[in-house]
Amino acid sequence: MSEEDNIKQQLTEKFAFLSEKITVKRARRIFADIPLANFPEVFDYAVKQLKFSILAAITGLDEGATLGFIYHIARENGIVLNLHTSTVKDKQAIKTVTGYFPAADAYERELVDLFGAQVEGLPQGNRYPLPDGWPANQFPLRKDWNVEMLDKKEVNKNA
Amino acid sequence: MHSHDFQIPIGPQHPALKEPESFLLTMHGEKITSMTVRLGYNHRGIEKACEAQSYIQDIYLIERVCGICSHSHATCFIQAIEEIAGLAVPKRALYIRTLIAELERVHSHLLWLGVAGHEIGFDTLLMYTWRDREVVMDILALLTGNRVNYSMNTIGGVRRDITAEQKQEILKATDTLEERTKYYIQIATEETTIIKRLSGVGMLLYDDAVNLGAVGPTARASGVDRDIRRDDPYAAYGELKFNVITDKHCDVYGRAVVRVLELMESYKIIRQVLADMPEGPITVKAPRKIPAGEALSRYEAPRGEDVHYVKANGTDRPERVKVRAPTLANVQVVAHMLKDRYLADMPIVIAAIDPCFSCTDRLTSLRDSDSGSKNYMTWPALRSYSIEWHRKQGIDFSDLNKKFKVPGN
């Protein structure tokens, strides 16, 4: 059995609800879809027990009614586990992973600024990457957003 | 913060910085006690722009995420598309991508060595390394037609082949560069001024490098044995022999040593690529529309791990493009490196991660601040606007222009 299949088996043995949700797309690339409520325990298990100790990135996605989040976590030997979860837009929050990876701070601020994600437990700090005077409720990477919606005068006024 | 502590803002525009970023330092005398970083001044909206254009157009946009690692970003992006489309890229194309990647690393590391020299007042080193960097810039221009933004990649392969004559030129240049690099290794490891100025500065211990998520030479100089070229091989790296350079100094000195020794590994790789490059086609036909799917691509850029995620929706435009440039991972360790250090160390400590904030912030569109309308200026319009603007400030060159018969005046 390949190492990727072994990881898949370990995850499904631990979390029965993941049995149909994990795909090994190619060597060193595993994708899994995790329900929001179970995400913290799966993430904790993957990082601490399965030794996915590198956070490569967090991707935000506008999926229509929901926001998607993919946590790309990697092992030292190059295998990447891509854990996807989603929240109802403007209603649900994800929990910060800065406790596991301090570097997630900037990645999560990107999700807040560009997607309007709500991140529980994100420490206070400077916003990133939009300017301080950026108008509220304008999230550039949402699909329904375009530059016409931006009141440039307000940005300049606040800057 | 104690009552006798004070705060100094540095940036976003500051002589000690090469790009716009902002640091707020809390000082106790000459020592930095804490620091916050504000980024985003180079945010240009590239990820959003990618969603509105075709994959082919996006290659050229993504290439402009960074002026120095342009091939890194383009390759990382294209690998994801090729994986989704299931394209079998010809081996020769993979070898050519690897060749350009290593030439890019050589130019980037030599550039860094010069900047590092400059930041510690050793401008002779800057002059020497940047002179020698021209050798590799000439080779890149010979192979691709450009000194930066090489545009070698296309979906399914590369756009230009390497001729036998070009191979000879590359080998000759590599010999020259290797000889010069040996001299820099000698300087970096024997020159007392450099050793004393860089040792113990910007300390980042192994555990902190791992915990804070440092990447590339910054992490490797703290003993973190990670390199995507070996750990998650792409292009032709799986077939090549090279060493991953690490160092245990954990300071700016270690970061300098790692980079100069990595140059030697790059020459080794370049020679192997040229010797082993198979004959054959350099591209396969790629579909205009990419089938629905997703892929994560990783790439060891000169500054560390570059990560691209692409999601395709079956059209000729991507659903989502995500870029995580190496500096975003490394900038967060700078605050740690500077804690309890002297203010005077700040420029070299920041320079030692070889930051690229243009990469980090990515993406813009030009808009009129009064009307809010989109306004793309042509070159002549921009030029007249500039002349008019200066005239209003009381600076008028029109007489001089007429005197020297400048065209268009």
Each residue's pLDDT tens digit, A5-14: 999 999 999 9
CB contact (8 A) between residue B296 and residue A126: no
Q: Which CATH number fits domain B46-338: 1.10.10.10, 1.10.260.40, 1.10.645.10, 1.10.565.10?
A: 1.10.645.10
Q: How far is CA B124 from CA A29, B113, B131, in A?
A: 47, 11, 11
Q: State how far the Cα of B357 lies from the Cα of B237, in Å rounded to an integer.
A: 27
What residues contact B400, with CB distance under 8 A and at least 6 apart?
B406
CB contact (8 A) between residue A130 and residue B43: yes
Q: In chain B, pLDDT over 90 holds for what percent of residues? A: 70
Residue type, B260: V
- B363: pLDDT strictly greater than 50: no
The number of beta carbons lying within 10 Å of the beta carbon of residue B363 is 20
CA–chain centroid gap for B198, Å, is 23
Reported as a single tens digit per residue, the pLDDT across B284-313 is 999 999 999 999 999 999 999 999 999 999
The alpha-carbon radius of gyration of chain A (Å, integer) is 17
Give A 125-154 residues with CB within 8 A of chain B.
125-131, 140-141, 147-148, 150-153
CB contact (8 A) between residue A78 and residue B212: no
Reported as a single tens digit per residue, the pLDDT across B210-255 is 999 999 999 999 999 999 999 999 999 999 999 999 999 999 999 9
* B229 contact residues in A (CB cutoff 8 A): none
Residue ranges per structural domain of chain B: 46-338, 371-409
Residue type, B169: E
In this prediction, residues B44-65 reach a mean pLDDT of 95
Q: Let me know the angle formed at the C-alpha of B157 by B156 and B163, rounded to the nearest 5 degrees.
A: 160
Residue (of B320, B297, A1, B240) closest to A9 by Cα position: A1
Reported as a single tens digit per residue, the pLDDT across B76-132 is 999 999 999 999 999 999 999 999 999 999 999 999 999 999 999 999 999 999 999
- B368: pLDDT strictly greater than 60: no
- B362: pLDDT strictly greater than 60: no
Q: State how far the Cα of A10 lies from the Cα of A15, in Å rounded to an integer.
A: 8
* A74 contact residues in B (CB cutoff 8 A): 232, 298
**Residue B200 at interface with chain A, using a CB cutoff of 8 Å:** no
CB contact (8 A) between residue B48 and residue A57: no
ipTM of the complex: 0.96
Q: Which CATH number fits domain A3-158: 2.60.40.10, 3.40.50.720, 3.30.300.160, 3.30.460.80?
A: 3.30.460.80
Taking the CA of residue B81 and the nearest CA in chain A, the distance in Å comes to: 14
Residue (of A57, A17, A20, A51) closest to B320 by Cα position: A57
Q: How far is CA B282 from CA B93, B147, B278, B287, in A?
A: 5, 22, 10, 16
Alpha-helix runs per DSSP H in B123-163: 123-144
Instruction: Please state the pTM of the whole predicted model.
Output: 0.89
**Residue B306 at interface with chain A, using a CB cutoff of 8 Å:** no
